[in-house]
Structure 1
Amino acid sequence: MTRLSTHDAIIIGAGPAGTSVALTLARRGWAVAIVEKSVFPRRKVCGEYISASNLALLDQLEIGDAWRANAGPEIRRVGLFSGETCAEAPMPPARDGPPAEDGPPAKDGPPAKDGRRAKKDGFGRALGRDVFDCLLLQAARSAGVEIFQPCRAVAIDPDGEAQLVRIQAGNETTMLRAPVIVAAHGSWEPGPLPSQLGKTNRPSDLFGFKAHFTGSSLAPDLMPLLIFPGGYGGMVSADHGRLSISCCIRRDMLAQLRKHPGHQSHLSAAEAVSRHLMESCRGVRDALESADVDGPWLAAGPIRPGIRSGYERDIFRVGNAAGESHPLIAEGISMALQSGWLLACELSCAPDGRAGREMAGRRYEAAWKSLFSTRVYAAAALAGIAVSPGSATWMAAIVRNFPQALTLGAQLSGKTKPVPGFV
């Protein structure tokens, strides 16, 4: 017999975007369910850096103190490693603001715990997704969110004024019913849901790779951008002495590296990327010379940056499902957390019914574009330059002569832009 569970909102995906929505709604009196296909803790292809502008939001979600206790050192400098170039400049601090205003009214429940003065955190830090996602999900569980994990959402169907989400865990099927459905499942994995993206193969596709290292000699307060033939990446000191290194590389360049003369025919994609990074960036070689890899390399993709619909077919989208910037600017987690918060704010004050959802969807899409579109377009322009043949040389020359360009780039990426509702 199939079990039926009814809620006000169903969130598909328990990453930062999904849990940000769930926590905010649950603390405003909503009955919320999260469906997550993976067992936690889990590692993710992610740069793991969180800008300081998010920390008032983390306090609002009531995980700020836990985040501060676990995250790596403050990142006070931004750098560039490309070829023999190793340049650096100050990281711009986050803007200080007055106390947050009260958020939108709760739905049939107590008011949001807004209005607290955020702790002053001028600089961002990095925390592994295997730790960060668990902190968020535990907070959601404590707030009363019902967690279905590991479960996979396999269908979404209309059911009057609500929708039915069919989820599976092994051979067991459960039906969840709610008027509000939020897709927070990312954009990299195709699937049967109407909110999931189809995939095509193009030579210019970007694939993401990520690994942790211990024993690195990278300065703990430095986050360098890596520019190398066919791709880009970044390094940052994260929690528990781990160095997080992540990068994107074009499909055609990856194929070329795996066939490179002198390389063994069975060279894996991760091995090819690791060698390419070491050979292309002196700063990477120096930082990892005495380091040990902590766990296997991860891979994901293809990564398709761009702005997508935030509300379509009566499904809301947050995180990468709504849109994503090139990872070059290290704003993925920030955009995920903030998009979830934006959506929850609009849903909280929208009237019930389809007309109310459509209004919330329009307002959310406008708020999303206002907050994120500039950094998406700026990241696309920079990434296009970074992966063009020969561009690494002149980019390195510009930064060597004008290192303040790195500080300006960090500002353009949104690292100092306050989250709406916390200014």
Structure 2
Amino acid sequence: MRRPSTHDAIVIGAGPAGTSLALLLARRGWTVAVVEKRMFPRRKVCGEYISASNLALLDRLEIGAAWRANAGPEIRRVGFFSGATCIEAPMPGGKYGPPVEDAFGRALGRDMLDHLLLQAARSAGAEIFQPCRAVAIDQDGDMQAVRIQAKDENSGDGTTILRAQVVVAAHGSWEPGPLPSQLEKASHPSDLLGFKAHFTGSSLAPDLMPLLIFPGGYGGMVLADHGRLSISCCLRRDMLARLRRTHSSEPDDPGQDGHPSAADAVFRHLMASCRGVSDALEGARLDGPWLAAGPIRPGIRACHERDIFRVGNAAGESHPIIAEGISMALQSSWLLAAELAGASSGRAGREATGRRYQAAWRGLFSTRVHAAAAIARLALGPGGAALMGATVRSFPQALTLGAHISGKTRAIPGLG
């Protein structure tokens, strides 16, 4: 075992939430360790869209210029694709600072975004432990000891102890594990499993981001960097099993059990259920394999519990139906960094900081979490797709209103 090292903060997870927090704290003079289990760049199940309200924050993180140089086109329209229905409406716009084109959001692949943020955190002075997995968190007096294991055959037993007063869980909510901040594994027929793929050569309008509603699930499409179309969706576990059985006679990509793979079943379902998807992907080429993750765990959780702070999906997440996951990850870290900057030392100080942070988190995010849950219930319920289709056909502005309610135009507190 290597000698323990001490930091001001340990961040577990190097997604947008973890790296942005590490970056913000390091620039305030904190010594920060970031623990990430995978090497970068790596692809991730994610919608990849970032609302315009985050661009001032990206500038504060000093990756705004790189993000603008690589992200896809501005998304000026929101759409609704379900069955034969294809409806479009304006995306709500707003001004969040110069230049004017920043009034609309754009998409950048997670393989690029996460790498940009991690490099910025490293440049700011954060110490990166990668690829390493956090396997335990124990109290050590007024400090906490995080035991990490390296995925390096040449590093002896690969075990290191990191010590800090502040430990932050930024590991997401989809994968169970041994840490007290990780959710227990459960499996239910109603679970929503996440899928994502990139395509090149699609015909989707470059400024359009449609919501996809289909039997048993929902999703979205957006044109991201370098002409890549990013398509992501959630599908109920029981619907996926049914689809795989239905298409078992002539599988294009058979799985180990003889049925079509989950990816093949999902792709067939999307193409058959949404004319807008089949039109956009006609002649398109798959760019890399389909990815799968989940089940997703939407809801609001404790932002500070067992002396561990949480950011990103670990703190709470909305249904991906509103495409606000990255926004919430970045903004939650901004909120926590602001609270930690003025925190008193000791456990009592951390408890008080946790209460303030949780109040700020819920004030900024609770409306969009509840709105996303209501929209998802409607989309997944009996007759929900038909009702939503009838509504947007009669009142297309409902799409614009929905995008507004989801938080896409809400300013981030403290970013003037």
Query: Do Structure 1 and Structure 2 share a fold, with TM-score over 0.5?
Result: yes
Q: CA deviation at 1:141?
A: 0.4
Partner of 2:135: 154
* Runs of at least 5 residues in structure 1 that lack an aligned partner in the other structure: 98-116
Q: Which residue of 1 aligns with 2:227?
A: 241
Question: Which is further off, 117-126 or 313-322?
Answer: 117-126
Of residues 196, 200, 213, the one that matches 1:227 is 213
Which residue in the other structure is 2:413 paired with? 420
Paired residues, number:
404
Matches of 2:150 and 2:407, distance apart in 1:
39
Q: 1:314 aligns with which of 284, 290, 307?
A: 307
8 Å contact from structure 1 (residues 95, 122) kept in 2: yes
Q: Counterpart of 2:11 in 1: which secondary structure?
A: strand
Give the Cα–Cα distance (whole angstroms) in 2 for the partners of residues 258 and 389 of structure 1. Answer: 22
Mapping 1:15-414, distance limit 5 Å? 15-96=15-96, 121-170=102-151, 171-260=157-246, 262-264=249-251, 265-414=258-407
Q: Which deviations, in whole Å up to 9, do the C-alpha atoms of 1:27-60 show, x marking residues without a partner? A: 0010001000000000000000000000000000
Q: Alpha-carbon deviation of 1:263? A: 4.9
> SS in structure 2 opposite 1:309?
coil
Aligned residue in 1 for 2:255: none
Q: 1:120 to 1:56 in 2, by over 3 A?
A: farther
State the shift of 1:272 in Å: 0.4
Alpha-carbon distance in 2 for matches of 1:14, 1:2:
22
Q: CA deviation at 1:2?
A: 2.4
Which residue in 2 is equivalent to 1:14? 14
Distance 1:142 1:94 in 2: 32
Distance 1:277 1:380 in 2: 22
Q: Deviations over 1:109-160 (max 9, x none)?
A: xxxxxxxx78761000000000000000000000000000000000100011
Contact 1:89 / 1:403 at 8 angstroms: preserved in 2? yes
Between 149-158 and 392-401, the greater mean CA deviation after superposition: 392-401
CA distance in 2 between counterparts of 1:306 and 1:405 reads: 24
Residue aligned with 1:121, SS: helix
- Which structure ranks higher in relative contact order (CA pairs < 8 Å, sequence separation ≥ 6)? 1
Match of 1:103 in 2: none
Look up the equivalent residue of 2:119 and give its one-letter code. Answer: Q
Query: Is the 2:137–2:179 Cα contact (8 Å) retained in structure 1?
Result: yes
Cα distance in 2 for residues equivalent to 1:402 and 1:294: 36
**2:245 and 2:259 in contact (8 A); partners too:** no
Q: 1:417 to 1:7 in 2, by over 3 A?
A: same
Q: Which AA in structure 2 matches 1:76?
A: R
Q: What is the CA-CA distance between 1:354 and the residue it aligns to? A: 1.0
392-401 or 317-326: bigger deviation: 392-401
> Is the CA contact 1:230–1:389 (under 8 Å) kept in the aligned structure 2?
no
- Distance in 2 (alpha carbons) for counterparts of 1:83 and 1:274: 15
Shift of 1:3: 2.1
For residues 362 and 100 of structure 2, what CA distance do their matches in structure 1 show?
A: 27
Q: Decide whether the 8 Å contact of 2:56 with 2:96 is kept in 1.
A: no
Per-residue deviation, residues 264-301 of structure 1 (Å, max 9, x unmatched): 44201110000000000000000000100000000000
- Secondary structure of 1:147's aligned partner: strand
Partner SS state of residue 175, structure 1: strand
* Residue identity matched to 1:132: L
- Is the CA contact 1:196–1:321 (under 8 Å) kept in the aligned structure 2? yes
Kept in 2: contact 1:87–1:400 (CA 8 A): yes
Alpha-carbon separation, structure 1, partners of 2:165 and 2:94: 37
Q: Distance in 2 between matches of 1:259 and 1:266?
A: 6
For the 8 Å contact 1:59–1:118, the answer to whether it is kept is no
Residues 1:39 and 1:329: Cα distance change in structure 2 (over 3 Å): same
2:216–2:380 Cα contact (<8 Å) kept: yes
The AA in structure 1 aligned to 2:148 is I
- Once the two structures are TM-superposed, the CA of residue 95 in structure 1 deviates from its matched residue by 4.1
d(CA) in 2 for partners of 1:416 and 1:118? Answer: 16
Which sits farther off after the overlay, 222-231 or 388-397? 388-397
State the TM-score, normalized to the length of structure 2. 0.95
Determine the structure 2 residue equivalent to 1:107.
none
TM value normalised by structure 1? 0.94
**2-side partners of 1:94 and 1:253: how far apart?**
39
Query: What RMSD in Å do the two structures reach over aligned CA positions?
Result: 1.2
Structure 2 letter corresponding to 1:44 = K
The letter for the 1-side match of 2:47 is G
Taking every aligned residue pair, what percent have the same amino acid on both sides? 77
